[in-house]
Amino acid sequence: MHERPADDLHPLTRAQFEYALKKSCKMRLIAFSSLLATAVLSVTAVAVAPRGESDQVVLGDPALTAGVPGVGLLTPKALDAWLKDPANHQTLKVQLPAGLDAAEANIYIPENNPMTRAKIELGRQLYFDERLSSDNTISCASCHDPLQGYGAETAFGIGVRGQQGGRNSPISYNRILSKGQFWDGRAGSLEEQAVGPVGNPIEMGNTHAACVDTLKNIPGYKKQFDVIFDDGVTIDNVGMAIATFERAIVTGPAPSDAYEAVKKFETVFADDLEYLDEEPELKAKYTKLKKATAESPMSESAQRGMILFSGKANCTACHAGANFTDEQYHNLGVGMAADKPDLGRYAVTKDKKDWGAFKTPTLRNVAMSPPYMHDGSQNTLEEVVDWYDKGGHKNAGLSDKMKVLKLTDQEKADLVAYMVEGLTGDFPVVNQGRLP
């Protein structure tokens, strides 16, 4: 993992980035002092979720992604003990963290790939393992780096031997809520998506056969595949494991979730608000919700931004629901001024309505993963808001939801403040080492 020097960042994004990083200090801890953190974690993990007692978990629980208990390289002994514990092979009933949980109905886990602790753990190792690439230099995390908000700071993905792709690396979290993957949705599942980069000549530059051979020759991997899957090490099983790990990476509660809960209460109980003193139970509930906003406060600017987001700025026309996406494809005109523009979804469906359309990305933790858009052409959230303010870029396929907004400078700043302060929550603690 490459730690990025703070000075490399665009000055405008830096403040936002630092804010966001501060919020996920737990994540930094594991990256910067992985050994120590792992030791601490394996203690908390036991306290949070006693293994074996229940197969019901809330994703984001550090016990799921902190690695096989212990420190350092994964020894055969530690692995044996891990694989012998039946609790690690139980199908998990997963719930989402508060905030995101309103999207529970959209959880997508294919029937043939149930989530288990052992499979999440195997997927975690594979995700961070550069040996999956042809020259042992690139892992999934090279372009979807936890320290770069699970994206990459470069405009385009950079693969083996410094080769560049043609699109920006999107984030790889909250994927449990999406079926279609990629900016154009061309992969129908995470399983299908995950094996793509391994064989892609400019990403990991490997062949599936060579990757499988490599893994078969690492006893720790071979053992895990043999125990977890009926047919051992296959490229499809690599995809199954990585997809399962990705499903465990979800964003924790963000300040806006607390404010939304208050807003919802105030709407539902609008008539009762004046008389709360007479209804102790309701009052207690209201006090609790208000207290939550006080514990993760948003500035007044961010609070105004929250109102603009679903009001005058109409962002919720597409960034809707608990994961701030409608999972649809829209043309905002990004990159459409080029001689040969990337036509996005159209290349997949050949349907005129998809001309230059790209998938609406989630906005949770968006402050952590500049640059923005499918071509990484916008460096800051300020630039993004300006793009919407002018109604995008006119072209034959421009979405009819794109309108000139006529926002004041203050309103633009408010929207940015809302995204930075309101939509940033913790990522799960993920151990990036401890490989076999």
* Residues forming the site for ligand HEC (CB under 6 A): 138, 140, 142-144, 157-159, 165, 167, 169-170, 172, 175, 181-184, 190, 193-194, 197-198, 203-204, 242, 246, 313-315, 317-319, 330, 332, 334, 358, 360-361, 363, 366, 369, 372-374, 381, 384-385, 388, 399, 401-402, 415
Residue 22 or 406 with smaller CB distance to ligand HEC: 406
CB of 410 to ligand HEC, least distance (A): 14
Q: In this structure, are residues 140 and 242 in contact, taking their beta carbons and an 8 Å threshold?
A: yes
CB of 414 to ligand HEC, least distance (A): 10
Element (H, E) at 94: strand 93-95
Residue 20 or 45 with smaller CB distance to ligand HEC: 20
> Which residue has tokens 């494809």?
329
Interatomic CA distance for residues 292 and 258, integer angstroms: 6
CB of 388 to ligand HEC, least distance (A): 4
Strands (E), 310-419: 329-330, 358-359
Give the β-pairing of 93-95 and 329-330. Answer: unpaired
Residue 322 or 332 with smaller CB distance to ligand HEC: 332
CB of 26 to ligand HEC, least distance (A): 22
CB of 370 to ligand HEC, least distance (A): 8
- Which two tokens mark 361? 């990305």
Q: 107 to each of 91, 111, 234, how far by Cα in Å?
A: 15, 12, 26
Per-residue burial over 183-218, b if 16 or more Cβ lie within 10 Å, else e, is bbbbbebbbbbbbebbbbebbbbbeeeebbebbeeb
CB of 281 to ligand HEC, least distance (A): 38
Partners of 329 in beta bridges: 359
Residue 202 or 292 with smaller CB distance to ligand HEC: 202
Question: What torsion, rounded to 10 degrees, do the Cα atoms 163, 381, 23, 435 define?
Answer: -10
CB of 54 to ligand HEC, least distance (A): 28
Residue 145 or 257 with smaller CB distance to ligand HEC: 145
Spatial CA neighbour of 257 closest among 366, 416, 98: 98
Q: In this structure, are residues 407 and 396 in contact, taking their beta carbons and an 8 Å threshold?
A: no
Q: Under DSSP, is residue 166 helix (H, G, I), strand (E, B) or coil? A: coil
Q: Under DSSP, is residue 151 helix (H, G, I), strand (E, B) or coil? A: strand
